[in-house]
C-alpha cells in the first residue's frame, strides 16, 4: 500500500505543476511598460495563476490526462489534489535584471515542504494498516481511504521558503515570456528531483 501511495502521489503532484506551467507559460507584457516592469509582470502573472487558480481552471487544465483520471479511483478531484499541494503557496520577487532581449528574475517561493512528505506518509500508512476496519474494507473503500490519507498528509505538511530561484525570461517577437528553463527551475524548486525520485523507490 505504501509504495502504491507514493507512486500515485508523485505522479499527481508532478502532473499538477507540469500542466499548470504548460498552460500558463506564455504571458504578454503591456506595450506601455518599460522592460523591467514587463518582465516582472510576466512572472507575477505566472505565479499568481498558480496561487489563485479556481476549480474551473484546474479542471480544464486536468483535462483527459491519465494522471488526473486516476484521481477518481481514490475519490479525489483534480481540485482537491491541487488545493492540497498548493495551499499556502506564495512568492516574493527579489530582483529583476534585464539585458537586451533576455532577463533573469530572482524569486523566493513559499510552498509545502515535500522533504517531509515521505516519512509522514509512511507513518500515516502504517497507522492505517493497523486499523482493523481497513482490512475489512472493499477495494473501493480501501482506495478511498488511501486517497484521503495521501491528501491529508499533504495538507498537514508545513510550508517552507526556498532559496532564491532564478527564472529566465526572454523577448520573442517583441513580447516577453518565461523560457522553458524557467518552468524546469520552478518545478525543481517546488518538487526537488531528489525528493520525488525517492518517492518512487
Q: What is the pLDDT of residues 131-176, one digit of tens each?
A: 889 888 898 998 888 888 888 998 999 999 999 999 999 998 889 9
Query: What contacts 120, CB < 8 A, 6 or more positions away?
Result: 153, 156, 157
Contact 157, 116 (CB under 8 A): yes
Query: Whose grid coordinates read 515521505?
Result: 118
CA–CA dist 162, 112 (Å, integer): 10
Backbone φ and ψ of 33, nearest 5°: -85, 150
Res 121: pLDDT: 83
Res 12: pLDDT: 54
Domain extent listing, the chain: 2-199
Res 32: pLDDT: 38
pTM here is: 0.78
User: Which set of grid coordinates corresponds to residue 149?
Assistant: 490519507
Low-confidence ranges of the chain (pLDDT < 50): 1-9, 17-32
Amino acid at each position: 500500500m505504501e509504495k502504491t501511495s507514493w507512486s500515485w502521489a508523485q505522479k499527481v503532484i508532478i502532473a499538477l505543476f507540469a500542466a499548470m506551467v504548460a498552460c500558463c507559460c506564455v504571458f504578454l507584457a503591456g506595450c506601455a511598460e518599460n522592460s523591467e516592469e514587463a518582465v516582472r509582470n510576466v512572472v507575477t502573472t505566472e505565479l499568481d495563476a498558480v496561487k489563485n487558480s479556481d476549480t474551473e481552471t484546474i479542471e480544464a487544465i486536468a483535462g483527459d490526462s491519465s494522471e488526473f483520471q486516476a484521481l477518481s479511483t481514490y475519490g479525489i478531484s483534480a481540485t482537491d489534489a491541487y488545493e492540497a499541494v498548493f495551499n499556502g503557496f506564495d512568492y516574493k520577487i527579489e530582483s529583476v535584471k534585464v539585458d537586451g532581449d533576455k532577463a533573469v528574475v530572482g524569486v523566493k517561493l513559499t510552498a509545502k515542504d515535500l522533504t517531509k512528505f515521505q516519512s509522514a506518509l509512511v507513518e500515516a500508512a502504517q497507522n492505517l494498516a493497523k486499523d482493523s476496519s481497513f482490512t475489512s474494507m472493499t477495494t473501493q473503500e480501501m482506495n478511498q481511504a488511501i486517497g484521503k490519507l495521501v491528501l491529508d498528509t499533504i495538507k498537514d505538511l508545513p510550508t517552507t521558503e526556498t532559496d532564491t530561484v532564478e527564472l529566465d525570461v526572454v523577448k520573442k517577437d517583441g513580447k516577453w515570456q518565461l523560457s522553458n528553463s524557467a518552468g524546469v527551475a520552478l518545478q525543481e524548486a517546488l518538487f526537488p528531483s531528489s525528493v520525488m525520485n525517492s518517492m518512487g523507490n
